[in-house]
Structure 1
């Protein structure tokens, strides 16, 4: 079998009425796009063996059909490969990630209802989020976040989460990104108490829960620059929910651009960060997302609720906190942030 060739059914959505369908007979549209170098990298880092790839996908598909027969999900090879690669081809962990992926949609409807690029244009216009036009030397695209650009009076913070999720969905479509992962560049210039006080422990837990346990993407590094003193309070809120491996991937550069350039070379960075790639232009990524509007409408704006699951399915989020718990958390947060500010 040639390593580059692997065929699959294309774009099918799991439906209980289709349980008797022979999906193996539909695998006729998908061709692997990985270069020989990336195939070798996937083998070494992700335990992906091209000669076993279809077998592994079929094993995950069988587990979905058996253990979660009412989960409405895509089960084509290209989709399931995202989860296998994100969990190094561990079937059980890949299945858990897939279930969490849909559980997050049920648990946070204000993020996922009517989720489409045109509904978050104001976030991209603000400059809060963009993706740099060139990947780093390891082939990883750089997601640039600038929380200081967000003004709480302009729109709710949840809109930032919506824009970030759409961005991740677009990035993970690429097999190169599935293998290489992504890098985050978080610029905290301009972040003050007005922004930081909106990130309470419960919100932090939900955001981190999606990024770590509910989305099939590998975050290889988080480069933080221009962090003010208040960042200590922000990070203290986030850190308890980070796994040790993820916490170790946070690199704090302060205002030291030389330190940043040791991680991200100048030729991929915009002028704002001492780079040579021109001015930072969020409109390019906005155009990329908008070109996929119909695709996102089909995925997130359907009439039926996504993520129907059995009652015993595990969820990464377990309801809202009580009012008293929220008030106590908020008071503690404000005190901590004022102390750091």
Structure 2
């Protein structure tokens, strides 16, 4: 197996103005000592074992303890599961350049994607302390949509959040389907979908707690038929569908104070959150 690249550098973080829709995130990464304090189940000897194991794997890069902690936490401190997660993470990032290379937001294709899509880590966590990430179409013309660039932006948002927050109890993904139609199906490829679901199920270093799909459209049945072969039962059980303009079920699990005003919440608009989060990532 070829030697894998070094992990992504910490995304630079620009200061936010006082009117920013995004909470003031720390400008320094969470330290390992902070992680030990916030995670009683985290053992230094486990991290030492993982560090030693990675050094014995010539195809894996040398990473710092903070990154090892993210992996170990996401696997609920199971050593063998953590090793598997690390393998999938770095192998996928090497073998899927369409998702994980050329991640400079100033690149023309990503600038275009930023006009088509909106996303952000929301400023307020849910009552369980789970971080919420929303993602939706802004321009709904199918010809404008590029799936690979959308995945790239989503992975960048998650990476930036991990760097700023360190470990959190869990993540919730909020996907708004408003504007999604059958033409968008032609923009998907089976090979890209397979790689995407491999990564989020086996390589993404977060504890995924729920996926809420808002404003479901008639095309959702076709989408589920397309992606179901790549989904494990555990992931399928995390998905919750919400009909168009029916947010009451959402409010039962995600209070309004967590959500953007576009979804009937108390936070800033999706557009403001998106603009400020992208500015922060740059």
On whether the aligned pair clears a TM of 0.5, the verdict is yes
Query: Mapping of 1:1-341 within 5 angstroms?
Result: 30-34=31-35, 39=38, 42-43=39-40, 48-49=41-42, 53-66=43-56, 68-71=57-60, 73-119=61-107, 120-147=110-137, 149=139, 151-154=141-144, 156-175=146-165, 178-255=167-244, 256-280=246-270, 281=272, 282-290=274-282
Structure 1 residue 35, shift from structure 2 partner: 9.3
The number of aligned residues is 250
Q: Is the 8 A contact 1:253 1:259 kept in 2?
A: yes
Partner Cα separation in structure 2 for residue 130 and residue 123 of structure 1: 14
User: 1:262 is paired with a residue of what secondary structure?
Assistant: helix
Partner Cα separation in structure 2 for residue 224 and residue 35 of structure 1: 34
Structure 1 residue 33, shift from structure 2 partner: 2.8
Please tell me the root mean square deviation across aligned C-alpha atoms, in Å: 2.3
Q: Is the 8 A contact 2:213 2:240 kept in 1?
A: yes
Q: Is the 8 A contact 2:116 2:144 kept in 1?
A: no
Partner Cα separation in structure 2 for residue 185 and residue 288 of structure 1: 20
Structure 1 residue 175, shift from structure 2 partner: 4.9
Larger radius of gyration, structure 1 or 2?
1
Q: Where does structure 1 differ by over 4 angstroms across 4 or more consecutive aligned residues?
A: none
Q: Is the 8 A contact 2:32 2:65 kept in 1?
A: no
1:157–1:221 CA distance, 2 compared to 1 (3 A): same
Partner Cα separation in structure 1 for residue 77 and residue 262 of structure 2: 39
Partner Cα separation in structure 1 for residue 268 and residue 151 of structure 2: 27
User: Which sections of structure 2, spanning at least 5 residues, go unmatched?
Assistant: 1-5, 8-29
Structure 1 residue 243, shift from structure 2 partner: 1.7
User: 1:142 is paired with a residue of what secondary structure?
Assistant: strand
Q: Is the 8 A contact 1:125 1:283 kept in 2?
A: no
User: What TM-score, normalized to structure 1?
Assistant: 0.67
Partner of 1:5: none
Further displaced range: 96-105 or 195-204: 195-204
1:201–1:96 CA distance, 2 compared to 1 (3 A): same
Structure 1 residue 137, shift from structure 2 partner: 1.6
1:215–1:227 CA distance, 2 compared to 1 (3 A): same
Structure 1 residue 83, shift from structure 2 partner: 1.0
1:99–1:150 CA distance, 2 compared to 1 (3 A): farther
1:188–1:221 CA distance, 2 compared to 1 (3 A): same
User: 1:128 is paired with a residue of what secondary structure?
Assistant: strand
User: Deviations along 1:129-180, whole A, 9 cap, x unmatched?
Assistant: 222222212222211111464544336321111111111111122455x231
Q: Is the 8 A contact 2:54 2:62 kept in 1?
A: no
User: Which sections of structure 1, spanning at least 5 residues, go unmatched?
Assistant: 1-12, 15-28, 291-341
User: What TM-score, normalized to structure 2?
Assistant: 0.80
Structure 1 residue 111, shift from structure 2 partner: 2.4
Structure 1 residue 30, shift from structure 2 partner: 3.8
